[in-house]
A and B are shown apart, each in its own frame.
Chain A
Amino acid sequence: MEPSELKRSKDSPNLDESTRRSSFPDEVLERVLSLLKSHRDRSSVSLVCKDWYNAERWSRTHVFIGNCYSVSPEIVARRFPKIRSVTLKGKPRFSDFNLVPENWGADIHAWLVVFAAKYPFLEELRLKRMAISDESLEFLAVSFPNFKALSLLSCDGFSTNGLAAIATHCKNLTELDIQENGIDDKGGSWLSCFPESFTSLEVLNFANLSSDINFDALERLVGRCKSMRVLKLNRSVSLEQLQRLLVNAPQLAELGTGSFSEELTFRQCVELESALSNCKNMYTLSGLWDAKGIYLPALYPVCTHLTFLNLSYAALRSDELAKLLAHCPRLKRLWVLDTVEDKGLEAVGMNCPLLEELRVFPADLFDEEIIHGVTEAGFVAVSFGCPRLHYVLYFCCQMTNAAVATIVQNCPDFTHFRLCIMNPGQPDHITNEPMDEAFGAVVKTCTKLQRLSVSGRLTDLTFEYIGRYAKNLETLSVAFAGSSDWGMQCVMGGCSKLRKLEIRDCPFGNAALLSGLEKYESMRSLWMSACNVTMNGCRLLAREMPRLNVEVMKEDGSDDSQADKVYVYRSIAGPRRDAPPSVLTL
């Protein structure tokens, strides 16, 4: 139901206070609002009037906090008394690429302590880029008797001992999703900590971990958890073991295989294919570590109904990918390594007309002798065959303005356009001009664009285009680009919906930083590193805007006046008190 419909009935001019209240009791309003799931809708609802603010806060069960330092756990607990599910994001995104110092912060523990007191019935915790220790995991495991779902993405600070605590104590666990974390893998015994009586698991993802687990324990666990729908194994699980698991879990909707490369006998191949063909509900396939082309045909029965295929850990050649994709007509999302080259991407265009999302990751970053990977030709080929494409992440070694113009002409519905030309500052490889017109074409044509990552040689003209045309842009990532402050000023002045801006190695200085003075409070955060911003500029910003936290990370041996890394974010919790010595709060 639209909040506006509710608002109309409430605003009928002939009702006075008392009739209004009796014809629309709070309980009814709360019941209606409890059906609202989107946190943005809920934010809108809470702004209507005081009654609605209260009704909304009493009916909210899930809270999403995009920056853990924008608010304190006490404030959250005071406003929302009935939370059962929390999603928290911590460190700036560039911490994924080692740009944020160790011990920067975003530790979950203080939150858990408050939650244990205020939300004893907490069921779900989803963390991204947070620091979480084994002690915190143990505390979590014993403090919340109803705890059901734990998801850790790109977190660090914990080991498999913490997972053992979760497995041991969380009797009602339905989801354990461990993805891409900096985890200290001390061995696989944690999996054996699930009690034999435990049957509730629906989601198990331990692909992140490398150690061997006790396969018998896993086989029994999967066998007795009849509601399991997501199972993502780690590399240590062999093809033969996979087959044994699948025989007992044909209901799986998402599968991440283990290693896909050992020697199989003919009979084992047949058994594997047969087990997979019984998985009628499977729509997501990933893992496929070290996949050998000859075993891929075992996947064909599943491919016909696959909508998401993640081959980003399988270094396939173009012919291997082409053969596989011929069996995947319903694919909507595809992740691959650039080992498939342009020819492999041609096969994508030819076989997957329903494709909406494509991610191409670079395979070998350090080999300077071998040039391979994908070029503009591959991306263009996909755009001709996949008109519904709206999400792309593309790492390539070369690109041209003309190619990008063609691509967006074929696919005007881009919402996420993330192009990474891997050599910083590289121009159009045919005309030798900057890549300004490429991104100009993107923002002019793709009016629904929400997220943009730019690369290649770019002048301020790119940013003029972005400021003028990218009116729905929310997230912008910039590296090694721009000519002067004017570029960033265009973005700050033009992109009214901008929420996250991350910039590295660009010639933007204090004038650029300060041009966003009015804007930063409506954004989640700004990151600027290796730019021309000085400490004085940051101090001025901090002074003018007291409701922003302005943090500077200094690097060893840099000039005292340089602000090497700057992180600015809005907060109602005031400056944080847990910053390490390398982070200065102004």
Chain B
Amino acid sequence: MEGSVGYDNDLNLRATELRLGLPGTEPVSIVRSNKRSLQQVADDDCGVNGCRSDDQNETAPPPPKAQIVGWPPIRSYRKNNIQTKKNESEGGGIYVKVSMDGAPYLRKIDLKIYSGYPELLQAIENMFKFTIGEYSEREGYKGSDYAPTYEDKDGDWMLVGDVPWEMFITSCKRLRIMKGSEARGLGCGV
């Protein structure tokens, strides 16, 4: 009987091994001195909107720069106000994905071409053929089943329209049009 198959034989199993890394990279071992923080990261990711990725659980090491709350220790003000040269070299566009609950595929828009919230919301309404309600500071978007939300640089999901436009376009990473009871919950006094 042959012994268990090792990785260094002619079959070159390592090359055909299915794992999460890019081809040519070895699995990364993340050093964390406290397991709880790792669990917290996994928990944070599987928050209100469901797991971003089914693979982000305790068995797979998270990517090296997983977003841990409050790390690195930079004040939010500073995080929101740094515009790196990278933005400029891409021709100045700030492209973010837009997803709509129930729609089969995502879209991408350039936030830079809009001068403010009304224009942006109009464009999204046209893109997905629906109407967003009236915005008020106290109650969010009333009058429709939809609420436009975005993910900011801290990884939090926010209602579109609360912060000044300039702050919004530099901190918005992606947009999501929420539908139904989730959307209504978001509008009320949060």
Q: Does chain A have a CB within 8 A of B189?
A: no
- Which residues of A are found within 8 Å of B72, using beta-carbon distances? 362, 365, 395, 420, 422
Considering residues A208, A362, A365, which has the most beta carbons from chain B within 10 angstroms of its beta carbon?
A365
Q: Does chain B have a CB within 8 A of A181?
A: yes
- Which residues of A are found within 8 Å of B115, using beta-carbon distances? none
A184 to B73 alpha-carbon distance, docked (Å) = 23
CB-CB under 8 A for A479 and B43, given A182-B77, A312-B78, A505-B36: no
- Which residues of B are found within 8 Å of A477, using beta-carbon distances? 73
Q: Say whether B75 contacts A154, CB under 8 Å.
A: yes
A-binding residues in B (CB < 8 A): 30-34, 36-37, 40, 43, 63-65, 68-79, 81-86, 153-154, 164, 166-167, 173
Considering residues A97, A211, A420, A557, which has the most beta carbons from chain B within 10 angstroms of its beta carbon?
A97
Q: Mark the stretch among A134-142, A164-172, A424-432 that contacts chain B.
A: A424-432
Residue of B with least CB distance to A366: B153
Q: Say whether B71 contacts A97, CB under 8 Å.
A: yes
Q: Say whether A507 contacts B34, CB under 8 Å.
A: yes
Q: Does chain B have a CB within 8 A of A541?
A: no
Min Cβ gap A20→B in Å is 53
A325 to B14 alpha-carbon distance, docked (Å) = 51
A525 to B32 alpha-carbon distance, docked (Å) = 26
CB-CB under 8 A for A180 and B75, given A97-B70, A98-B154, A424-B68: yes
Q: Does chain B have a CB within 8 A of A17?
A: no
Q: Does chain B have a CB within 8 A of A367?
A: yes
Considering residues A181, A479, A482, which has the most beta carbons from chain B within 10 angstroms of its beta carbon?
A479
Q: Say whether A557 contacts B43, CB under 8 Å.
A: yes
Min Cβ gap A281→B in Å is 28
A477 to B72 alpha-carbon distance, docked (Å) = 13
Q: Does chain B have a CB within 8 A of A361?
A: yes
Q: Say whether A423 contacts B64, CB under 8 Å.
A: yes
Q: Say whether B82 contacts A315, CB under 8 Å.
A: yes
Report the count of interface residues on A (CB-CB < 8 A). 55
- Which residues of A are found within 8 Å of B81, using beta-carbon distances? 313
Residue of A with least CB distance to B154: A98
Residue of A with least CB distance to B167: A210
Q: Does chain B have a CB within 8 A of A96?
A: yes
- Which residues of B are found within 8 Å of A362, using beta-carbon distances? 72, 74
Q: Does chain B have a CB within 8 A of A386?
A: no
Q: Say whether B83 contacts A425, CB under 8 Å.
A: no
Q: Say whether A97 contacts B33, CB under 8 Å.
A: no
Other-chain residue from B32, B82, B154 in contact with A337 (beta carbon distance below 8 A): B82
A506 to B63 alpha-carbon distance, docked (Å) = 21
Q: A363-B84, A423-B64, A504-B70 are in contact. List 5 more A-B contacts (CB 8 A).
A: A290-B83, A362-B72, A366-B65, A481-B33, A506-B34
Residue of B with least CB distance to A312: B78
Q: Is the interface of B mostly helix, strand, loop or mixed?
A: loop
Residue of B with least CB distance to A432: B31
Q: Does chain B have a CB within 8 A of A415?
A: no
Q: Say whether A425 contacts B73, CB under 8 Å.
A: no
- Which residues of B are found within 8 Å of A313, using beta-carbon distances? 81-82
A315 to B36 alpha-carbon distance, docked (Å) = 36
Residue of B with least CB distance to A290: B83
- Which residues of A are found within 8 Å of B164, using beta-carbon distances? 185, 210-211
Min Cβ gap A556→B in Å is 10
CB-defined interface of A408-426 with B at 8 Å, one 1/0 digit per residue? Answer: 0000000000001011111
Q: Does chain B have a CB within 8 A of A318?
A: no
Q: Does chain B have a CB within 8 A of A94?
A: yes
- Which residues of A are found within 8 Å of B84, using beta-carbon distances? 315, 339, 363-364
Q: Say whether A505 contacts B37, CB under 8 Å.
A: yes
Q: Does chain B have a CB within 8 A of A483?
A: yes
Q: Say whether B37 contacts A480, CB under 8 Å.
A: yes
Q: Say whether B86 contacts A370, CB under 8 Å.
A: yes
Residue of A with least CB distance to B72: A422
B-binding residues in A (CB < 8 A): 94, 96-99, 154, 180-182, 185, 208, 210-211, 235, 289-290, 312-313, 315, 317, 337, 339, 361-368, 370, 395, 420, 422-427, 457-458, 477, 479-483, 504-507, 530-532, 557
- Which residues of A are found within 8 Å of B153, using beta-carbon distances? 365-366
A160 to B46 alpha-carbon distance, docked (Å) = 37
A505 to B72 alpha-carbon distance, docked (Å) = 13
Other-chain residue from B63, B77, B86 in contact with A364 (beta carbon distance below 8 A): B86
Q: Say whether A426 contacts B78, CB under 8 Å.
A: no
Q: Say whether A365 contacts B37, CB under 8 Å.
A: no
Q: Say whether A367 contacts B31, CB under 8 Å.
A: no
Chain A to chain B: the 10 pairs with minimum beta-carbon distance, closest first: A97-B70, A425-B31, A180-B77, A505-B37, A99-B70, A96-B75, A422-B72, A505-B34, A315-B84, A364-B84
- Which residues of B are found within 8 Å of A530, using beta-carbon distances? 34, 36-37, 40
Min Cβ gap A506→B in Å is 6
Q: Say whether A363 contacts B33, CB under 8 Å.
A: no
Min Cβ gap A454→B in Å is 12
- Which residues of A are found within 8 Å of B71, using beta-carbon distances? 97, 424, 479
A530 to B38 alpha-carbon distance, docked (Å) = 11
Other-chain residue from A94, A96, A363, A368 in contact with B82 (beta carbon distance below 8 A): A363
- Which residues of A are found within 8 Å of B74, using beta-carbon distances? 97, 361-362, 365, 395
A97 to B85 alpha-carbon distance, docked (Å) = 25
Q: Say whether A507 contacts B85, CB under 8 Å.
A: no
Min Cβ gap A349→B in Å is 24
Q: Say whether A425 contacts B33, CB under 8 Å.
A: yes
- Which residues of B are found within 8 Å of A423, using beta-carbon distances? 64-65
Residue of A with least CB distance to B79: A365
Other-chain residue from A182, A367, A506 in contact with B86 (beta carbon distance below 8 A): A367
- Which residues of A are found within 8 Å of B63, using beta-carbon distances? 368
CB-CB under 8 A for A180 and B73, given A315-B85, A483-B33, A506-B34: no
Min Cβ gap B26→A in Å is 15
CB-CB under 8 A for A361 and B78, given A94-B70, A315-B85: yes
A426 to B71 alpha-carbon distance, docked (Å) = 14
- Which residues of A are found within 8 Å of B68, using beta-carbon distances? 424
Q: Say whether A98 contacts B70, CB under 8 Å.
A: yes
- Which residues of B are found within 8 Å of A365, using beta-carbon distances? 65, 72, 74, 79, 153
A154 to B74 alpha-carbon distance, docked (Å) = 12
A289 to B84 alpha-carbon distance, docked (Å) = 10
Ordered by A's residue number, 5 sampled pairs between the chains whose C-beta atoms are within 8 Å are A235-B166, A289-B83, A315-B85, A365-B74, A424-B37
A364 to B33 alpha-carbon distance, docked (Å) = 25
A279 to B64 alpha-carbon distance, docked (Å) = 47
